Amino acid sequence: MAGKSRWADDDADAQARKREKEEKRRAKAERERRAAEEAAAQQRQREQEALQADDRPTDHRPTKRRRLSEEPAPEEPAPEAPLALLRLTAPSWSPSRRVSIFEQLNHIDEGTYGTVSRVKDLSTGSIVALKKLKMGRIGDGFPDMALREIQTLQECRHAHIVDLKEVVVGTTLLDVYLVMEFLEHDLRALQEDMVEPFLPSEIKTLMLQITSAVEYLHDHWILHRDLKPSNILLNNRGQTKLADFGMARHFSSPPLANMSQLVVTLWYRAPELLLGTSVYDSAIDMWSLGCIFGELFGKEPLLQGKNEVDQVGKIFALRGTPTEATWPSVRRLPNARALRLPSTAPPPPSLRPAFPLLTTAGVDLLSSLLELNPAGRPSATQVLTHPYFTEDPRPKSTAMFPTFPSKAGLERRRKKLSPNAPMRGEAPRFGAGDFGAALGPIGEGGGVWGV
C-alpha cells in the first residue's frame, strides 16, 4: 500500500498553498484593473488632443484616411487653403428686463397696434423709444402682429431700419414693450408742420435711404406691407429709419397663395390688393414707395380715398384705366370680375401736370413706381440705379440736412387725419354697383367700366 503523500498529510502546507494561489489570483486581477485604467486614460488623452486640434484654426490638417479602393484619389485641397470648421453660435437665453427700469418722459403717439413713448433708461441714462404692443386678451395667445414685429426687427440689421434694442415686460403677460432707438420725427408728422415741402435734393437723399432699406428687406424675402410716411422716422442728422413691422411677413418666388389682402394703409395700397389679389410680391411695397415719393413733392398724400372703392377710383383717375394689353391678368382679380375692360384705352395721363417741378427722369421714376400692372414696377435695386439720382440737383449730404423742432421729443401729438393701418379680418368684396359709383367719370365716354 502506497504511503500517503507527506504534503497531503500536512494541513498547514495545504493551507499555505491555498493562500499563495489566492494571492496570485488577486495580483493578476489587480494587474488587469490597472491595465484597463491605463487604456481608458490613454483613450481620454487621445480624445482631448483631438478636441484641441479642432480648436486650432490654423493650417492644421486632419489625418489622411487610408484609401481602400483603387479609384483615383480626389483632388487634395491646396495646402495653403485653411480648412475652417462651420461654427454656429447658439443664442443665449436670459429673462427679459422689466419696464420699470425706464422713466417715461413723454407720450409720442398711439397707433393701431401700439402706444409709443419717449423714455429714459435709468441704468444708462440713454433716451430711447418704448412701444407698448397692443396684445388683446389673456388666453388669446401672443398676437401675430406682435410676433411679426419682434421677429422681423430682430432679424433686420440695416442703417435705415430702426434698431430694436430689446424687448421688456411689465407685470402681466399682456405687457410687452419694444425698446428702440429714439428718432426725433416721422415723415408724416414732420410734413404736416413744414411750410414748404422738402427740396428736390433732400427728397433724393430721403428716397435713396428709404429705398435702400426696402431693398434690404426684399433681398431677405421680407415684405413690409405698411410703407407710409408715418412709419418712416427721421433723426436730426438727416437719417431715415424704417419702422413699424407689425404687418411684415416673409414671401417667396413664386409667391405664396392666400396671403392676406387686408394689408397696407388704404392711401398707400396697391391696386392689385384693392382688386382682391391674395397672391402678391414685393411690387406692393414698390407702389407704396411711389405714393411716398409723390407725397414728398406735394407734402400731401397723393391718393386720399375715402374707402376702398373710392381709392380705386382715385388711382384710375391718376393712372388711367388698365386694359387687357397693359395689365393682362387684371380681369382674373376677384374685385375686377364685374368690370368690363376695354381692349384699348388712351395711354395713361401724364404725371407731369401734377408734378411741374419734377424733371423728366423724376417723372419717369414716379410713373414706373405707380404702374398699375405690378409686373411693370421696378425693383428697389432698379430704383437705386435710376438716372434721376445722378442728375442735378444731386442728393443732399446728410450733414447738410436741415433740422426741425422735434414734437416727439417734447409734446403730445395732435391726432393725424389719415387712415389707420388695416385691422385683421376679411378684405371687402365689391360688386359692379360699387365700382359704378366710384368710376363714373372714368367710364363716361368710353363705357369702359360697367357690368
Ligand X SMILES: Nc1ncnc2c1ncn2[C@@H]1O[C@H](COP(=O)(O)OP(=O)(O)OP(=O)(O)O)[C@@H](O)[C@H]1O
In degrees, rounded to 5, the angle at the alpha carbon of residue 284 between the alpha carbons of residues 278 and 286 is 165
Q: Does 244 bind ligand X (CB under 6 A)?
A: yes
Q: Choosing among Mg ion, ligand X, none, which partner's interface includes residue 281 (Cβ < 5 to 8 Å by kind)?
A: none
Binding partner of residue 310 among Mg ion, ligand X, none, CB under 5 to 8 Å per kind? none
Given the residues 109, 186, 226, 244, select the one marked as catalytic: 226
Residue 366 binding target from ligand X, Mg ion, none, CB below 5 to 8 Å by type? none
Q: Is the peptide bond before 342 cis (omega within 30 degrees of 0)?
A: no
- Contact call for residue 244 and Mg ion (CB under 5 A): yes
The CB-of-250 to ligand X minimum distance in angstroms stands at 19
Q: Which of 117, 209, 231, 282 binds Mg ion (CB under 5 A)?
A: 231
Q: Which is nearer to Mg ion, 226 or 308 (CB)?
A: 226
Please, what is the minimum distance in Å from the beta carbon of residue 422 to ligand X? 9
User: In the bound complex, what is the minimum distance in angstroms from residue 163's beta carbon to ligand X?
Assistant: 8
For residue 334, the minimal CB distance to ligand X (Å) is 26
Please, which of residues 98-157 interact with Mg ion by CB under 5 A? 111
Stretch that binds Mg ion, among 8-16, 241-249, 339-347, 363-371 (CB under 5 A): 241-249
Name the residue with the smallest CB distance to ligand X: 111
Query: DSSP code of 199?
Result: P
Candidate list 148, 161, 186, 227; residue touching ligand X; CB under 6 A: 186
| Count of positions (residues) in the chain | 451
Angle at 404 between CA 403 and CA 405, to 5 degrees: 135
Nearer to ligand X, 129 or 223 (CB): 129
Residues between 218 and 237 that touch ligand X (CB under 6 A): 230-231, 233
Phi first, then psi: give them for residue 336, nearest 5 degrees. Answer: -100, -5
Q: Are 216 and 158 in contact (CB under 8 A)?
A: yes
Residue type, 397: S
Interatomic CA distance for residues 380 and 397, integer angstroms = 21
E-assigned strand segments in 141-244: 164-169, 176-181, 185-186, 222-223, 232-234, 240-242
Residue 293 exposed, middle or buried by CB count within 10 Å (0-12, 13-18, 19+) = buried
- Concatenating the DSSP letter of every residue in 132-146 gives EEP---TTS-S-HHH
Measure the CA–CA gap between 134 and 423, rounded to whole angstroms.
Answer: 12
Beta bridge partners of 119: 104, 128
420 binds ligand X (CB under 6 A): yes
Interface pick for ligand X out of 156, 223, 383, 421 (rule CB under 6 A): 421
Per CB under 6 A, 293 contacts ligand X = no
Concerning whether 392 is annotated as a catalytic residue, the answer is no
For residues 245, 247, 248, 250, the Cα torsion angle rounded to the nearest 10 degrees is: 160
CB of 225 to Mg ion, least distance (A): 12
Q: Which of 99, 102, 109, 224 binds ligand X (CB under 6 A)?
A: 109
CB of 388 to ligand X, least distance (A): 27
Closer of 148 and 377 to Mg ion (Cβ): 148
Backbone angles phi, psi at 326, to 5 degrees: -85, -25
By C-beta, is 111 or 342 nearer to ligand X?
111
- Calculate the alpha carbon distances from 325 to 207, 237, 371 in Å: 31, 46, 13
- For the annotated catalytic residues, the residue numbers are 226
Q: Which residues bind ligand X (CB under 6 A)?
A: 108-109, 111-114, 116, 129, 131, 162, 180-183, 186, 189, 230-231, 233, 243-244, 246, 408, 420-421
